[in-house]
Structure 1
């Protein structure tokens, strides 16, 4: 079947290798792997090739966290303008039986440069970069909720990078927007330029052999190598040409956070949202709550995010989540935040598996192609420092009731992301999946009967104004 689609936190340590992972070494892609039968799940994403990689993981027996991890890594190949390994993001993950809202995983773009100093000197940083957070964040999420060894999930991305992909319409559009500054970087020019010196167009073949090597190294040595090992050394040594200003101290200490999601309860249904400092989840919660109470949410999510940013103080994730949860319960919305900048440099995706497990993520480079520079021979397009760009609005949520998955929605589009995701989730829960008038681009999975249950009643939907892909499948 194909459809149209407050709590404490703890910080993950710095050993990101596969050591200590007690998951079964199940080969999803080896010669002995098999395709399962029946309903396998649903996937929605802004980029079709990455979505198909996730669907393949579901078809081979992986769960939602496995498929979402493969999807995120594949996006680093197929949509590096918004989700390279240099990106950051946030995810919420939920499993049937979870009564506490599941878990949120925050691996936001960092502000490592240029503040970090090494041996009394400031790292060269004419174009400050974020620490590449994507691999570390996905690893932590999959370690907590996945069912197979992380190394298995790098294989689709490696194959895409090594064998080449057709440039999709979204990547082509992003290349067209930033072609002059992007091609000014020699590393980026080698990857994204045609022989005649212009940027690639939709349908061109894009090979990324250096990135394939980096992904292969992550597969064999674990993602920790990108933060404390040989890959980290390559990224740091490239500072002279990238102007990234990254340091080994910053690479080592920039770690994801596991947090309690924001939750809103309506009747017997509970919705889990990514929590602050991923404040797009707070804005989404405010707008969704208004919609479910029969009120218009007209730009309410945008206003809530702006007000939150104007009033928040620096605090731990747990403190910020508790404050946002209190505001949601009181119905008070901070004001005075002014306008929010549009920064179309994000993407989002969601996965639901046949047992009702679900993962929803929003990813950002904090600028199209981040810094626009590639980290040496790693093939990684570096994300922009969060100290020097507007913070991304990351919106994602999962709805569940009585231990059963109901729906999930995510969105990109920066200022409009929270409102788009809220409207999409409300529409999906009401069985009226349709486009929103917001400029935000939403992705939705909705299962009218809930999961576990009859997967044939699940629908996937992506915004028709984009180039995304939504699918659900029953495997014979």
Structure 2
């Protein structure tokens, strides 16, 4: 019988920076070393995650809807970072490489399993607002909370390479070029965002062109130096309120200061000796849990039974050699959100992601509560993402399909979803890495790595 545990919610104070939480992270790293010594699991040379050094052998797995973000995650794992470190760096990297879906003005949801603690957390930081207001930026504080809870590498070290991407420029990927072309008619050519997305001759940026974002580089630089507290400070809040007023958007400084990412106990489904962890909070009343239970119990995902509101998103999955895994989906609520760049802040105003739009964002992780191992991480976005997730998870767990086969042949509206997935039947650790597979949907222009 599958059992689902109830949830509880806490929040991170807006004046807490990642620097203030580093001692807790050191304590967690120490726990990982002790666990390796006691259980004699395959921890290689018993290195602590976060200690900057090149990894020999298996370092982890990573996949993302934007290829350059996947490269950033690969590099973090190669330098002995944790899964949460890689996810944080990749999320911020997407702000530089795919701002149509993952700009700091938006938000998202992550499920993270920390192998050393054999426990998981749901972190929700969606762009939400009511009464026609513009959602306050939530992404920076959500990723900072994830880093504070499960990160190991210093905050500053994660942001330096991403800041350089924004300042020096990145080649436009095929995935981002498609978004530019699709949204071009809604973005005024003479607006700040319109100019950012165009070449000197006035034509739209194409695949391979360089995208430079000095405003975003400045934002990332301030976050790197001052910690996440900068995102809730008066300087940025006032800047965004003034820029929003000039753009005739309803965004107050108080709303910017008041953003709180949610830290929650995930929803759980028992799967053999493991736990399948799902997002909590506003996702609790959505159909994913019920459909996954049916799929695992009866082998039928019923992927055509529900159609929600399709919103563009960008996903990532990552697993490290310490038995941890993270799955995230990010969204602006629409391509480029409200299509307004708030002057030189680097922030693009988002559309709300709430109600039926939540069904376009699905994340799931399988971990164990007795030994430090993760077996699966999945992020699905767009279309019937809940049905897509149920189909893939039941495929590998119940029908013993290879991961690539489970990703193909999605039914109904699930075919419109983009999926990134990792599956390790015996666990994503050094000893079990030979069975690991990482894959992405055939329609995706992203990238995936088994990092060695």
TM-score where L is the length of structure 2: 0.85
Tell me, what secondary structure is at the counterpart of 1:183?
Answer: coil
Q: Is the 8 A contact 1:234 1:377 kept in 2?
A: no
The structure-2 alpha-carbon separation of the partners of 1:98 and 1:265, relative to structure 1 and needing over 3 Å to count, comes to farther
Query: Does 2:7 match 1:7?
Result: yes
Q: Is the 8 A contact 1:113 1:385 kept in 2?
A: no
Moved over 6 A (4+): none
Gaps of 5+ in 2: 1-5, 30-50
Q: How does 1:404-419 map to 2 (within 5 A)?
A: 404-413=373-382, 415-419=383-387
RMSD between aligned residues? 2.4
Q: How far is 1:445 from its partner?
A: 0.4
Partner of 1:109: 127
The structure-2 alpha-carbon separation of the partners of 1:356 and 1:162, relative to structure 1 and needing over 3 Å to count, comes to same
Query: Does 2:402 match 1:432?
Result: yes
Query: Does 2:446 match 1:468?
Result: yes
> Take 1:278 and 1:371, find their aligned partners in 2: how far apart are those partners?
24
Tell me, what secondary structure is at the counterpart of 1:82?
Answer: helix
Q: Is the 8 A contact 2:291 2:301 kept in 1?
A: yes
> Take 1:436 and 1:224, find their aligned partners in 2: how far apart are those partners?
45
Tell me, what secondary structure is at the counterpart of 1:144?
Answer: helix
Query: Does 2:342 match 1:375?
Result: yes
Q: Is the 8 A contact 1:398 1:408 kept in 2?
A: yes
> Take 1:226 and 1:242, find their aligned partners in 2: how far apart are those partners?
20
Q: How far is 1:168 from its partner?
A: 0.9
Q: Is the 8 A contact 2:303 2:388 kept in 1?
A: no
Q: How far is 1:283 from its partner?
A: 2.8
Tell which deviates more after alignment, 72-81 or 288-297. Answer: 288-297
Q: Is the 8 A contact 2:267 2:284 kept in 1?
A: no
Q: Is the 8 A contact 1:110 1:254 kept in 2?
A: no
> Take 2:329 and 2:145, find their aligned partners in 1: how far apart are those partners?
15
Partner of 1:165: 170
> Take 2:104 and 2:334, find their aligned partners in 1: how far apart are those partners?
14
> Take 2:446 and 2:288, find their aligned partners in 1: how far apart are those partners?
21
Pick one of 435, 445, 455 that aligns with 2:422: 445
Partner of 1:203: 208
Q: How does 1:131-210 map to 2 (within 5 A)?
A: 131-184=136-189, 186-210=191-215
Query: Does 2:428 match 1:458?
Result: no
Partner of 2:32: none
> Take 2:349 and 2:160, find their aligned partners in 1: how far apart are those partners?
22
Q: Is the 8 A contact 1:346 1:365 kept in 2?
A: yes
> Take 1:297 and 1:376, find their aligned partners in 2: how far apart are those partners?
45
Partner of 1:333: none
Q: Is the 8 A contact 2:62 2:451 kept in 1?
A: no
Gaps of 5+ in 1: 1-5, 27-31, 115-127, 304-338
